């Protein structure tokens, strides 16, 4: 995601990865992976030149140094964390209307996409026995949130995502 960028002298705020609690930070020539809650350093690499900027996309890190060299790094042995996403109908303020499609947000690349029909089929099968007055997010058990039928891959970056077993669509509400 292009916005995940930290430039030297800009405060060196850790850049959060989609993985919970894990972020990246640079300290002169060192690029480090941090536990954002404890501040503990999980991994470090010395690029032997002052790091000016870095970006992440999934498990790839690109860092630029003071000589203009670009370092491509791949993070290995990370957890198999799959970020959650929800099928949501957005209100498009610039058009003054509801989006025609429900979309999910990819937490790897930051893009929204229209889920495959099978995701909506899986949501319907998990919620079919619920009373219309019951909120699925409060009623469904953890197994429903981990249902393999809700696993998807972002069409842009192919990052794995787990859809929530419900939709958020307020288009027909008064
Ligand atoms: Zn993506």
Give every CB contact of residue 153 below 8 A, 6+ residues apart in sequence: 159, 160, 161
Give every CB contact of residue 140 below 8 A, 6+ residues apart in sequence: 126, 127, 130, 165, 166
pLDDT digits (tens, 9 = 90+) for 25-49: 888 889 888 888 888 888 888 999 9
The pTM score is: 0.66
Q: Give the pLDDT confidence score for residue 98 in this predicted structure.
A: 97
Q: How far is the CA of 112 from the centre of ligand 1 (A)?
A: 8
Q: How far is the CA of 17 from the centre of ligand 1 (A)?
A: 13
Residue 11 has pLDDT above 60, yes or no: no
Give every CB contact of residue 91 below 8 A, 6+ residues apart in sequence: 97, 98, 99, 170
Q: Give the pLDDT confidence score for residue 172 in this predicted structure.
A: 87
Neighbouring residues of the ion ligand 1, judged by CB less than 5 Å: 106, 108-109, 154, 156-157, 159
**How large is the average pLDDT for residues 85-109?**
95
Q: How far is the CA of 113 from the centre of ligand 1 (A)?
A: 9
Give the pLDDT band of residue 100 (cuts 50, 70, 90): very high
Q: How far is the CA of 116 from the centre of ligand 1 (A)?
A: 14
Q: How far is the CA of 104 from the centre of ligand 1 (A)?
A: 10
Q: How far is the CA of 41 from the centre of ligand 1 (A)?
A: 27
Sign of CA dihedral 3, 6, 9, 14: positive
C-alpha Rg value of the chain to the nearest Å: 20
Q: How far is the CA of 146 from the centre of ligand 1 (A)?
A: 20
Q: Does domain 5-74 have CATH number 3.30.870.10?
A: no
Nearest of 41, 72, 69 to residue 56 by alpha carbon: 72
Which of 5-9, 21-25, 86-90 is the least confident region? 5-9
Instruction: Say how far apart CA 100 and CA 110 lie, in whole Å.
Output: 20
Nearest of 28, 29, 24 to residue 14 by alpha carbon: 24
Q: How far is the CA of 1 from the centre of ligand 1 (A)?
A: 9
Residue 122 has pLDDT above 60, yes or no: yes
Q: Taking the domains of the chain in order of start, what are their residue ranges?
A: 5-74, 84-168
Of the two residues 105 and 18, the one the predictor is more confident about is 105
Q: Give the pLDDT confidence score for residue 147 in this predicted structure.
A: 94
Of the two residues 132 and 64, the one the predictor is more confident about is 64
**How large is the average pLDDT for residues 95-103?**
97
Q: How far is the CA of 136 from the centre of ligand 1 (A)?
A: 26
Give the pLDDT band of residue 79 (cuts 50, 70, 90): low
Q: How far is the CA of 18 from the centre of ligand 1 (A)?
A: 11
Residue 2 has pLDDT above 50, yes or no: no
What does the chain come to in residues? 174
């Amino acid at each position: 995601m292009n916005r995940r960028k930290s430039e030297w002298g800009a405060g060196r705020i850790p850049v959060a990865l989609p993985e919970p609690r894990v972020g990246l930070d640079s300290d002169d020539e060192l690029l480090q992976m941090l536990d954002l809650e404890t501040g503990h350093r999980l991994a470090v690499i010395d690029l032997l030149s002052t790091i000016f900027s870095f970006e992440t996309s999934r498990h790839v890190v690109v860092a630029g140094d003071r000589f203009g060299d670009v370092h491509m790094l791949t993070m290995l042995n990370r957890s198999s964390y799959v970020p959650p996403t929800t099928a949501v109908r957005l209100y498009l303020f610039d058009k003054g209307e509801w989006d025609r499609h429900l979309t999910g947000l990819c937490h790897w690349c930051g893009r929204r996409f229209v889920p495959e029909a099978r995701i909506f089929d899986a949501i319907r099968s998990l919620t079919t026995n619920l009373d219309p007055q019951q909120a699925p997010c409060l009623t469904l058990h953890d197994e429903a949130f981990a249902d393999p039928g809700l696993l998807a891959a972002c069409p842009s970056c192919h990052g794995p995502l787990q859809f929530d077993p419900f939709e958020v669509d307020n288009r027909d509400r008064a």
